[in-house]
Structure 1
Amino acid sequence: MRQLDDRAVRLFIALAAFFCANAVLAEFIGVKIFSLEGTLGIAPVHWRLLGEGGTLDFTAGTVIWPIVFIMTDTVNEYFGKRGVRLISWLAAGLVAYAFLFAYIAIQLAPASWWVGSAQNQGVPDYQAAFSAIFGQGMWITVGSLTAFLIGQLVDIHTFHHIRRRTGERHAWLRATGSTAVSQLVDSFVVLYIAFVLGPQHWPTSLFLAVASLNYAYKMLAAVALIPLLYLARAGIHRYLGEARAQELIRQAAADPAQPPHTFPLD
């Protein structure tokens, strides 16, 4: 059988592609800050924490990151630590590649007619708008990539630590538990690098308050998406067949020093 005829190989390619697409997309749409209350059509919620306050405003990237959590746990379940490491490094490389060419595109001299072509849409300077949207600051980019990679590595080890203690029971526990730990790290690392070490120099109270709020939001979203985890699991078992799905799960849970026999990842 040719390798691409193997359903497990096809499944890994599909999961990896979807994971990377979501990771890159989350980075680029994250430049927009949206109002959760306005989106839901409810009155503003004025929170107070550590002497800081505000309303429920988040980056648009938080809408899609919970999907990335689900994808991470799904790959972890069936392809183990090496599978998640592979897609994590691939996604980080693609994000860096995308930001590099966004920067190059910003530096290209704009056509004079194009700069003012969207004035009727309320955009007087298309080049300035393009630069503002795609030219996220270096500190934000570095913080985001660093937090993503650290969070993924923490997620991998936490997931398998819980799995060793619970066996194949409670898929929701290892998925939510690993997300809880990894996103605790991610939420604080990205803001610390981007806004404390970066040029804005946020005070400690603001940093801790905003990071805590972002973490709470991510965890609520992760819990709400638990049914999606089980839906994905059911679809994979139907696609692979119960015997093959269980074989992959056993291999994923095995000692990572022992390479899987039917689906090597490197």
Structure 2
Amino acid sequence: MFNEIFGLVFTLINFSLVLLIYRLFGKTGLFVWVGFATVLANLQVVKTIEIFGMTATLGNAMYASAFLVTDIINERYGAKEAKKAVWMGFFTLLCMTLIMQMVLLFEPGSSDFAQEPMETLFGLLPRLAVGSLAAFLVSQFLDVHLFSWIRTKFPTDRQFWIRNNGSTLISQFFDTLVFTSIAFIGEYPMDVWIEIFITTYLLKFIVSVLDTPFGYIAKRFTFKDETMTKEA
């Protein structure tokens, strides 16, 4: 049960850090988190774990936090700003992939010990990045549009949980399908891929429910130097 219990703690810490960076740095902090979370999620996803008796990849909590952040931005600053955050996450991951592939091309020194583990970690990065970039754009823009559409049907403050969970659960299904298909089909046996797909989505489902109270807390933060606008 260690992975299950520690996974819950890990997820709550991730969301608490989202609140902290927002509290300290306002909207700028949320934009930074999207780029930060996109990069870290793609590093964590290389590691597989056993959880609830099934095989899953890490990175779900960190990646889900990016959805929480874009929902907060959409809720407080509008869809235009949320789309800008999505492009920032895309560009950050693209830059990281390019730079780290160039780093691997440097000839290591005779005393170097980092080349081999870096090749292990970042060797899969191009394929993971292609899968993640495709999934990120599809799912995040879907999430932004769904959130905005659901808000027209359920606009009240109390109904934020409907907007947050409804948009995230649908968009993350497509995110999981696109990413796991590009990144892992052919790398793992099909039965393992199916397990990864199912557990990844189930974990995202659980995490989406867990992030809702943090969204409500973030909605109540006020900043003197910000004027809340909701641009279409």
Asked if structure 2 preserves the Cα contact closer than 8 Å seen for 1:33 and 1:58, the reply is yes
Deviations 1:204-234 (A, max 9, x none): x654443122111111011012111111111
Show the counterpart of 2:180. Answer: 191
SS of the counterpart of 2:220? helix
Query: RCO higher in 1 or 2 (8 Å CA, sep ≥ 6)?
Result: 2
Deviations 1:96-120 (A, max 9, x none): 11011111111111111123xxxxx
- Per the TM alignment, residue 91 of structure 1 is displaced from its structure 2 partner at its CA by 1.2
SS of the counterpart of 1:167? coil
Show the counterpart of 2:111. Answer: 113
Show the counterpart of 1:65. Answer: 63
Deviating more after overlay: 94-103 vs 26-35: 26-35
Show the counterpart of 1:129. Answer: 117
Larger relative helix fraction? 2
The separation in 2 between residues aligned to 1:244 and 1:128, in whole angstroms, is 49
Asked if structure 1 preserves the Cα contact closer than 8 Å seen for 2:72 and 2:219, the reply is yes
Asked if structure 1 preserves the Cα contact closer than 8 Å seen for 2:38 and 2:63, the reply is yes
The separation in 2 between residues aligned to 1:23 and 1:137, in whole angstroms, is 13
Larger radius of gyration: 1
SS of the counterpart of 1:158? helix
Show the counterpart of 2:223. Answer: 239
For residues 91-240 of structure 1, the aligned pairs below 5 Å read: 91-115=89-113, 126-169=114-157, 170-196=159-185, 199-200=186-187, 203=190, 207-235=193-221, 238-240=222-224
Matched AA of 1:225: D
- Per the TM alignment, residue 190 of structure 1 is displaced from its structure 2 partner at its CA by 0.5
SS of the counterpart of 1:171? helix
Show the counterpart of 2:85. Answer: 87
Matched AA of 1:29: Q
**Superposed CA RMSD:** 2.2
The separation in 1 between residues aligned to 2:42 and 2:203, in whole angstroms, is 17
The separation in 1 between residues aligned to 2:194 and 2:58, in whole angstroms, is 20
Asked if structure 1 preserves the Cα contact closer than 8 Å seen for 2:48 and 2:56, the reply is yes
- Per the TM alignment, residue 240 of structure 1 is displaced from its structure 2 partner at its CA by 4.5
Matched AA of 2:69: M
Gaps of 5+ in 1: 1-9, 37-44, 47-54, 116-125, 257-266
Deviations 1:54-108 (A, max 9, x none): x2x3322113122112101001112222111111112111111101111111111
The separation in 2 between residues aligned to 1:93 and 1:202, in whole angstroms, is 32
The separation in 2 between residues aligned to 1:189 and 1:211, in whole angstroms, is 10
Show the counterpart of 1:29. Answer: 44
Q: How many residues align?
A: 207
Gaps of 5+ in 2: 1-24
Asked if structure 2 preserves the Cα contact closer than 8 Å seen for 1:102 and 1:135, the reply is no
- Per the TM alignment, residue 239 of structure 1 is displaced from its structure 2 partner at its CA by 2.3
TM-score of the superposed pair, with normalisation by structure 2:
0.81
SS of the counterpart of 2:56? strand
- Give the 4+ runs in structure 1 shifted more than 6 A: none
Deviating more after overlay: 175-184 vs 12-21: 12-21
